[in-house]
Chains A and B, each alone.
Chain A
C-alpha cells in the first residue's frame, strides 16, 4: 500500500525580551537557580501578571512578516495542569483568540519546487521552569528562572508531507525569526524548539490519520530523524493490522527512536478558560503601523536588493540572504572598506564559509569578523597582495586574530610592483632556463606560463601578476 505522510509543526520561539512576559524579572540565560524568579514567576499567593509590551510588538512583527492577520482583541487563557515546574498550576497562553491569525510561508520541497505552507496561528504564552533530576538523591530540583519566559507558539496547518519539507519549513522559520529579530534562534539553549504532529494516510485519501505528537525537538537533525522514525513506525503499526493511538511521544536521540511519554493512561483535560486577571489585549491599527515602520528588512526584499544594488546573481543573492547573520556580515564587509560586492561575495561564500564549515562554527562565532575581512579584501583590491597570498593571510588571521595589514607587514608579503625588480627577476629566470627559452621561441607559446610560474616562485608569490605579464612577453620574444 502507498502511504502519504502528513505533518504539522508547532514551533516555540522564545521572544527576545529583557524581561518575562508577565513580570519584570530578567530573562538572561544561565543564572543561578531561582535567582531570576520573582514573586510573580513563583506564583506566590496574591500576585498578578502584567503583560510586557515588547512581546506584543514582536508578535505583531511576526504577523507582518508572514502576511498573517492580527487579532484586534486577543485574549489570554489559562491552561490548567499540575506539574512542579509550572508554578501556578496553569500556563497562561492563548486559546480561542490568539494574537496572530492565519498566514503563510513559502518553502522549497525536496524537488526544488515552491510550496506554500499555511500558518494556522501564532499565540503568546509563558514558558515553564526546569526540573533537574540528577542533582539530588530521590528528589527533583525545580529551577523557575525560565518560568514566564515569553514564547511565540507558531502552529502550521498539516501541509508538510515529508521530513525534508518539515525541516525546510523549520529552517526557513528559524531564519525568519532571526531576520526580524524576534528570537535569537539558539537551539541549544532551547530558544527555538519544534513539536511535530505526524500522521500517515493512504495515498489519495483526504481523511487525516490519527496523529502522534513528538515533543521538544531541538535540532533540525532530530526533527528529520524523529519524523522518519515515526512514519516508519506508524506504517508498521497499520500494516501489521494495528491502530495508531493519539499520544505524545518523545524522540530519544541516543536510540534514534520515538517512544510514548505517557507512563499510564491519563486523560488530559486542560480546562482552558479566559484568564480573569488579564482583560482583552487590544492591538490598534496605529500600533501596527508603528511596528511596520520599524520593521527589519525581510529576506525576500533583501535578496532583490542584493541583485539590484550589488549586481549579484540571483543564486548568490539567495545564498547571502538566506540567513540574516550572513547578509549582515556581507554588508558590513562592504561598508567597512568600500569593497566591491563581487569580491566580498566570493570571499564570504567561499573562503569564509569553508573555514567555518571545517571548524564547525557559525558566522557569529567566526574568528574573522566583517571589518577584519574587509581589511584583507581591500589589500587585494589595491594590489598590495594577490588573491592567492590573501588566502594564506586569512589562514593566519583565522589562527591569530591579527589584522591583515599586520600579518602582511610582518611577513613582508606586499606585492612587488617595482618594474626594475621584476625585470631583474625575469632576466635571471630567462638566463637560468635556456632550453625552455629556445622551445618557446621555436613556437611553443604555452611555455609562457612556465616562465610566469618560475618568476612568481622566485618572488615568493609577491610579483604583481599584471606587471609581470606586461614585462615578460617582450623579453621572451627577444
Chain B
C-alpha cells in the first residue's frame, strides 16, 4: 500500500469513502515508523496502543457517517506540547520523566477534530536550535541526505513528515522553527499570526514570539490543519478572539492582480547562490500566474538577528526559571541545601545551548544592562515591525528565501553559536512582528530542498495559504519525496 504518498486531503477522502479505515491508515504509519525511524531519530515517544484505540473509535464514528473534519487522520505532535498521560520532554533531560497532567489546547483541538496522535517528535531542547543537534534524545537526521541536519527546532516533526512517517505534524516557531525545517526537509509549513493559535500547554521558549503551526506536504493540508488548530482560547491571554475564516474555501482563487513585494535585503550578503536561483525562478512562476512583482525595502532587516537574540533569551531565561527541581522535572541526587538543589538540578537538566541562552537572557535583563540591551531590542523590534507595515501599504505578500542555505552537515555549526543563529536571518522578523509566514519548497540545490518564504499581514493566513496553494498548482516541488523510503 502506498497510502503514505497521499496527501492529508486525499486520505480524508479515502476515509470518508471507506476505502481505508483509520486503524489501517494508522497501522500503516506505525509500521513505517517501526521500520524507518531508527535512521532518522525523529521521534521521542511512540504510543501505538493509544493511537490504535483512538483510530478504532474514529472508525466507529466514520462507519456511522459521523466524525469531525479530520476524523481518523494520523498526526505527530512536537514534544513541546503537553499531552495528558503521555511523556512530554521538550527535548530535555529536565523533563525526561514528565508525564503531563493536561493536554495543550492544540492537542485538545486536533483530538476534538478527530485526529489520532501516533507519536511525539524529537526537537531541539526547549526549542532552542536550528539543527536539532541540541536534543537530549539525540540528533535528528534529514531524510533527504544522511549526515545533514533537518533544521530546528521542530526538526523531528519535519523529518517525520518528510520520511512519510505521518502525513502531517505540529511544530512551533519562535524564530523560524517551523519554516526553516520545512525548507530543509522539502515541506510546507506555516507559522500563523501571533495569537492565532493558543499557546496554552505549549512549553514556552519566548512567549512573545512562540506560535504553533503545522507541517504538511502541501499548502492545502496546512490549511486543513490550521483550521483545526486556530481560534480563541480563554486560557491564553495572548490568543486572539478574531473570528477564524475558512482556510480552504479561497484556495482556488487565482493570483491575478496579486502584488508581491521582494525585499532587496533578502538577497544581500550571506545568501547562497543556489538558493537565490531557486527563489528567482519562483518569482518568474508567480509572474506567469498573473502576480506583479514589486521591489521593496525592509531597512532594519539587518537588525533582526541582534534584536531577536536579546528578546528571545531574555524571555527564555525567565520562562525556564520554573524548572527548578521542586514541583516537577529533574532533581539532582541528595541536594545538601536549597541552592545546591537549584544549581545542580538545573546544571544537570539543561543542555549547553539552553544554558547559554539563559545566561544571555539573565545578563541582558540585569541591572545596568536592561536599557542598553533589552529595551533597545524592543525599540528595534518596533522599527522592524513598522518596516513591514509600511511595505504592506503597497504589497499583499512579501516573498524571499526561507533560509540562506539548504540543509547543512551535522557538526558544521555546533562550535559557533553565532553562525548557527544566522540561519534564522530571514525568519525571525515575522516572529518579532507577529506576522504569519510560510515556507514552501521551490527547488533543489545539490539534491537538498530549497524553501521559499511568504509573509502576509496579521491574520491574513487565508491569503498566504492561497498564494502557496496556487504556486503548488503550477509547480511540483512539493510532490517530491526522499528516495528509498518504501
Contacts and interface: CB of A to CB of B under 8 A. Distances in A.
On whether A and B touch (CB less than 8 Å), the answer reads: yes
Interface of A: 39, 42-51, 78, 80, 82, 84, 87-90, 142, 269, 271-273, 276-279
Contacts of A47: 200-201
Contact of B367 (A42, A45, A269): A269
A48 B327 contact: no
B101 A273 contact: no
Interface in B181-209: 199-204, 206-208
A84 B82 CA distance: 23
Interface in B137-177: none
Given A273-B318, A276-B315, A48 B234 contact: no
B318 A46 contact: no
B98 A45 contact: yes
A279 B434 CA distance: 13
17 contacts: A44-B101, A45-B322, A45-B323, A46-B81, A46-B200, A46-B204, A47-B201, A48-B237, A89-B318, A90-B318, A271-B317, A271-B362, A271-B366, A271-B370, A273-B370, A276-B207, A278-B238
A104 B436 CA distance: 47
A279 B100 contact: no
Nearest to A45: B203
B365 A273 contact: yes
B22 interface: no
Contact of A46 (B201, B238, B327, B374): B201
Given A46-B204, A80-B365, A88-B322, A273 B237 contact: no
A43 B203 CA distance: 11
B321 interface: yes
Given A48-B236, A272-B365, 17 more contacts: A44-B322, A46-B81, A46-B201, A48-B199, A48-B235, A50-B236, A50-B237, A78-B318, A80-B318, A80-B321, A80-B365, A82-B324, A84-B324, A271-B370, A273-B315, A273-B365, A277-B204
B366 A39 contact: no
B338 interface: yes
Nearest to B328: A44
A273 B327 CA distance: 25
A90 B238 contact: no
Contacts of A273: 314-315, 318, 365, 370, 374
A353 to B, nearest CB: 48
Contacts of A39: 101-102
Given A46-B104, A46-B200, A278 B318 contact: no
Q: How large is the interface on B (under 10, 10 to 19, 20 to 34, 35 or more residues)?
A: 35 or more
Interface string B380-391: 000000000000
A106 to B, nearest CB: 37
Contact of A45 (B82, B238, B374): B82
Contacts of B298: none
B88 interface: yes
Contact of B88 (A45, A84, A279): A45
Interface in B68-82: 81-82
Given A39-B102, A89-B321, A277 B237 contact: yes
Nearest to B208: A276
Q: For the complex, would chain A's binding face be called helix, strand, loop or mixed by DSSP majority?
A: loop
B459 to A, nearest CB: 16
A87 B362 CA distance: 18
A279 B238 contact: yes
Given A39-B102, A273-B365, A88 B321 contact: yes
Interface centre among A44, A45, A46, A276 (most CB of B within 10 A): A45
A43 B327 contact: yes
Q: Which 9 A-B pairs have the closest CB atoms?
A: A89-B321, A276-B208, A276-B207, A271-B365, A46-B201, A43-B322, A45-B203, A88-B322, A46-B82
A117 to B, nearest CB: 30
B95 interface: yes
Interface string B308-342: 00000011011011111011110000000010001
Interface centre among B98, B237, B238, B367 (most CB of A within 10 A): B237
Interface string B109-120: 000000000000
A46 to B, nearest CB: 4
Contacts of A51: 237
A48 B321 contact: no
A410 B189 CA distance: 87
B272 to A, nearest CB: 33
B90 interface: yes
Contacts of A43: 322, 327
A370 B397 CA distance: 72
B90 A89 contact: no
A82 B324 CA distance: 8
B324 A89 contact: yes
A46 B104 CA distance: 8
Nearest to B195: A279
A46 B203 contact: yes
Contact of A82 (B342, B366, B367): B342
Interface in B201-232: 201-204, 206-208
Contacts of B238: 48, 276-279
Contacts of B366: 269, 271
A89 B362 CA distance: 13
Contact of A90 (B204, B321, B328): B321
Interface string B262-294: 000000000000000000000000000000000
A451 B46 CA distance: 104
Nearest to B362: A271
B100 A45 contact: yes
A78 B199 CA distance: 19
Given A46-B200, A51-B237, A278-B237, A82 B321 contact: yes
B318 A50 contact: no
Nearest to B327: A42
Contacts of A271: 317-318, 362, 365-367, 370
B88 to A, nearest CB: 7
Given A44-B328, A89-B322, A276 B104 contact: no
A72 B279 CA distance: 47
A41 to B, nearest CB: 10
B328 to A, nearest CB: 6
A46 B204 CA distance: 6
Contacts of A46: 81-82, 100, 104, 199-204
A17 B199 CA distance: 27
A395 B362 CA distance: 66
A274 to B, nearest CB: 8
A224 B329 CA distance: 45
Contacts of A142: 326
Contacts of A269: 366-367
Contacts of B329: 45
Nearest to B325: A84
B93 to A, nearest CB: 14
Interface centre among A44, A49, A142, A271 (most CB of B within 10 A): A271
A208 to B, nearest CB: 20
Nearest to A23: B235
A279 B237 contact: yes
Contacts of B202: 46
Nearest to A85: B326
Interface string B354-388: 00000000100111001000100000000000000
